Amino acid sequence: MKKGSNPSLSRIWLLIPKTFLKHFDEAVQSTFPSRSEAIRRGMNLVLEEIRQFKPSEEKSAEPTNSPSDQRPQTAAIIQTVEAHEFELRNQEKREEASNNAEQSGNVI
């Protein structure tokens, strides 16, 4: 076992756009001690949101892994992610337009 490793934790790898990671790091740096802590909190928020989609009688039942049970929850998560990605793309376009205007001597 490597020094400092924790056998109860698992390492995951994510492929995300560099600009998204940059914005994410800037947003969480004053709130969380590390990027990992922010991601863990985000994962917990997703689980809380998924629980809200389940009817109350299902909350006490054992969770199932049936794909048909996951579709509405997955769709809601995908919608949230797509909305966030759309906002990030718009923000990047605004920043690019602002940078282009600054370089050409125009002010927005």
Tell me if 9 is assigned to some domain: no
| pLDDT at residue 75, rounded to an integer | 67
- For residues 59 and 51, what is the distance between their CA atoms, to the nearest angstrom? 7
| pLDDT at residue 37, rounded to an integer | 92
Tell me if 12 is assigned to some domain: no
Tell me if 81 is assigned to some domain: yes
Q: Is the pLDDT of residue 77 over 50?
A: yes
Tell me if 10 is assigned to some domain: no
- For residues 36 and 26, what is the distance between their CA atoms, to the nearest angstrom? 14
| pLDDT at residue 71, rounded to an integer | 62
- Greatest alpha-carbon span in the chain: 63
Tell me if 6 is assigned to some domain: no
Tell me if 3 is assigned to some domain: no
DSSP structural state of residue 7 = T
Q: Is the whole model's pTM more than 0.95, yes or no?
A: no
Tell me if 1 is assigned to some domain: no
